[in-house]
């Protein structure tokens, strides 16, 4: 009976061993078994696939043949200590394949003991971590690099900048940050499409990289903005880098078989051993870049302390501007437009001013650009329209002859989908006919979208509104496009009038051409910025219909404009056009 039980047990043991061997052979992990001396006695198929060694090549050898050389003796001392004391060890280890390639693996070691507790074998189970490591590196790379250009992104740039600043503080040296923005990049996207824009950004990144040292960093911050970190560098050398970047942009970019010339504006900020955080120096470089754009683009600019003061003042102005409308701080001034020969008032232009409680009267050139950028121009523009129309109705009700009042429309206003409906509603609510309203748009606004401009202007004309092209002559409108628009008036830009107007001057030729064009197209023409009798006489000889400027009157608040209208009414609707105009036509305080 005992013999039968022994045979049964042996069969069971053999079956279990066969099953274990089958499991070891088919598992995805590599399996290696050594005797108590550490000589290899068994490996499975996965071991061969991972290491490249056939079983017959390693039998009887020590696993040290897999050693990568990356780990020091202390690493192996701790490994054996754990194996002896705890009977196991596991962790990440670098080993070497038969090909010599070093690879990462997760290794689990177990001491196998007999029934008396004596170690007779060691078993190792190993997993190849190469794919996982590659995926981790790929994810890490994507997290810190721009997907389009493969350059470092904002996060990696700021990390390197922080490290460089700490190094500069310790070693009392300087570093520079360049902030670069492409000039008119939006035009590329709008005309050639976003695919071409993406290709351009890739080429820009490559060109910038050719201008720097190995230890420098080029990053794409987003959009068409790039930054360059120049550690341990003097200001003159930083300028040289900026100049090199500007120079490599002189060569055309080839996009979709088209040659494209594009420039960049660069801001430079320098940090020395003084404590500066990464965000601050980056902001300084950004401010300097905008200064470069303001001064003509395609150039570099060095950050100066007053730029931060200006930026802070601008931010303060923006915050106050947001509250100005609800606090009723805006006021309209009115400047008359006068017939050149008869002196009769043809109409007037409504001009906004900001009556700031602390700084007094602020001209539009100081706050309109901010209003445009922030979108505040939309509610402000609506207020101007309603206020100007309401005032015109007030003058008509007071018995003054009906006059046309001109209001400027900004680019943001003109792009509003409900612009025509808004203006129609204001006219209805205030009770004014459309023929007494003139809307002025600049050439650049008119030419941004020809189809939109043509459609909107026709809809406005259907309301009886007059249309004027403001600042004419400084834009780039084509005559063929101009004829498509239902225009009533061309307003000659004041720069041509003020800056040397005579028969033989360049400005004189330009003004003459504009007035001749207006006559040929049956438009009326008004010259802006007329300040002297000489200018007036020149415009008379060219049969200019109307003038506007300080020679006639400065812009006046509604009360003073009412007085001026009284004066004109007493003189049969005319203002005197003489050398004493400025004094004659100004209402007494």
Tens-place pLDDT, residues 277-321: 898 899 899 989 988 988 888 999 998 876 666 666 777 777 888
526-532-535-537 Cα dihedral, nearest 10 degrees: 100
Q: What was the pLDDT predicted at 478? A: 59
Maximum C-alpha span of the chain = 143
Q: Poorest-confidence range of 164-173, 258-267, 327-336, 574-583?
A: 574-583
Is 520's pLDDT higher than 90? no
Q: How far is Cα of residue 409 from the mean position of the Cα atoms in its chain?
A: 25
Is 589's pLDDT higher than 50? no
Q: What was the pLDDT predicted at 432? A: 96
Domain ranges of the chain: 21-134, 145-303, 325-501+523-534+542-584
Nearest-angstrom CA–CA distance, 289 and 286: 5
| 476-493 burial: b if 16+ Cβ within 10 Å, else e | ebeeeebeebebbbbbbb
Q: How far is Cα of residue 3 from the mean position of the Cα atoms in its chain?
A: 89
Q: How far is Cα of residue 160 from the mean position of the Cα atoms in its chain?
A: 22
Q: Which CATH superfamily is domain 325-501+523-534+542-584 in?
A: EAL domain (3.20.20.450)
Angle formed by the axes of helices 419-430 and 450-462, to 10°?
A: 20
Give pLDDT tens digits for 13-61: 455 555 555 556 667 889 999 998 989 999 999 999 999 999 999 999 9
**What CATH number is given for 21-134 in this structure?**
3.30.450.20
Is 481's pLDDT higher than 60? yes
Q: Where are the beta strands (DSSP E) in 223-344?
A: 225-230, 253-255, 258-260, 264-271, 300-302, 330-339
Q: What was the pLDDT predicted at 10? A: 52
Topology (CATH) of 145-303: Alpha-Beta Plaits (3.30.70)
Percent of the chain topping pLDDT 90: 49
Q: Among the ranges 66-70, 127-131, 303-307, 445-449, which has the highest mean pLDDT value?
A: 66-70
CA distances for 258 relative to 55, 206, 223, 255, 324, angstroms: 62, 19, 22, 5, 48
pLDDT band, residue 573 (cuts 50/70/90): low
Instruction: Tell me which H or E stretch contains 551.
Output: none
Higher-scoring residue by pLDDT: 5, 415: 415
- In the block, tokens 């020679």 appear at 551
Taking CA 368 as the corner, what is the angle to CA 367 and CA 374, rounded to the nearest 5 degrees?
95
> Residue 422 CB: number of other CB atoms within 10 A?
17
Q: What was the pLDDT predicted at 581? A: 41
HEC per residue, 157-189: HHHHHHHHHHHHHHHCCCEEEEEEEECCHHHHH
């Amino acid at each position: 009976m005992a013999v039968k039980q022994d045979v049964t047990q042996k069969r069971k043991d053999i079956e279990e061993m066969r099953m274990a061997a089958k499991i070891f052979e088919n598992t995805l992990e590599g399996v290696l078994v050594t005797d108590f001396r550490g000589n290899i006695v068994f490996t499975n198929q996965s071991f061969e696939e991972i290491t490249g060694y056939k079983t017959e090549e390693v039998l009887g050898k020590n696993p040290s043949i897999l050693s990568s050389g990356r780990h020091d003796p202390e690493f192996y001392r701790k490994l054996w200590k754990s194996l002896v004391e705890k009977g196991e060890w596991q962790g990440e280890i670098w080993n070497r394949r038969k090909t010599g390639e070093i690879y990462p693996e997760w290794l689990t070691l177990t001491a196998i003991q007999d029934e008396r507790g004596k170690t007779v074998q060691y078993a190792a189970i190993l997993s190849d971590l190469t794919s996982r490591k590659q995926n981790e590196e790929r994810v890490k790379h994507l997290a810190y690099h721009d997907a389009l250009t493969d350059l470092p992104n904002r996060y990696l740039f700021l990390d390197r900048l922080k490290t460089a600043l700490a190094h500069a503080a310790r070693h009392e040296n300087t570093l520079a940050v360049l902030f670069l923005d492409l000039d008119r990049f939006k035009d590329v996207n709008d005309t050639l499409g976003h695919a071409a824009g993406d290709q351009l950004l890739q080429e820009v990144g490559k060109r910038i990289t050719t201008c720097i040292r190995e230890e420098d960093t080029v990053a794409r911050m987003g959009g068409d903005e790039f930054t360059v970190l120049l550690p341990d560098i003097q200001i003159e050398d930083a300028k040289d880098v900026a100049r090199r970047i500007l120079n490599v942009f002189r060569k055309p970019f080839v996009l979709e078989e088209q040659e494209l010339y594009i420039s960049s504006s660069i801001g430079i900020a320098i940090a020395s051993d003084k404590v500066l955080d990464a965000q601050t120096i980056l902001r300084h470089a950004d401010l300097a870049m905008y200064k470069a754009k303001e001064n003509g683009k395609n150039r570099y600019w060095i950050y100066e302390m007053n730029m931060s003061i200006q930026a802070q003042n601008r931010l303060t102005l923006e915050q106050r501007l947001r509250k100005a409308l609800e606090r009723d701080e805006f006021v309209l001034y009115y400047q008359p437009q006068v017939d050149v020969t008869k002196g009769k008032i043809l109409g007037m232009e409504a001009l906004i001013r900001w009556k700031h409680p602390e700084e007094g009267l602020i001209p539009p050139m100081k706050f309109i650009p901010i209003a445009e950028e922030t979108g505040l121009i939309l509610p402000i523009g609506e207020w101007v329209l309603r206020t100007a129309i309401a005032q015109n109705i007030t003058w008509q009700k007071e018995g003054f002859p009906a006059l046309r009042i001109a209001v400027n429309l900004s680019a943001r206003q003109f792009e509003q989908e409900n612009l025509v409906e808004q203006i129609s509603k204001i006219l209805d609510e205030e009770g004014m006919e459309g023929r007494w309203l003139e809307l002025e748009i600049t050439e650049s606004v008119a030419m941004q979208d020809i189809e939109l401009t043509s459609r909107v202007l026709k809809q406005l004309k259907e309301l009886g509104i007059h249309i004027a092209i403001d600042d004419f002559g400084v834009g780039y409108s084509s005559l063929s496009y101009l004829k498509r628009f239902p225009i009533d008036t061309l307003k000659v830009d004041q720069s041509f009038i003020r800056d040397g107007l005579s028969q033989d001057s360049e400005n004189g030729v330009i003004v003459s051409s504009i007035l001749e064009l207006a006559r040929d197209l049956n438009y009326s023409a008004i010259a802006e910025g007329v300040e002297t009798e000489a200018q007036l006489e020149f415009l008379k000889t060219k049969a200019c219909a109307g003038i506007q400027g300080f020679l006639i009157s400065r812009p006046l608040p509604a009360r003073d404009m009412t007085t001026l209208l009284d004066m004109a009414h007493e003189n049969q609707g005319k203002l005197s056009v003489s050398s004493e105009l400025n004094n004659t036509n100004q209402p007494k305080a």
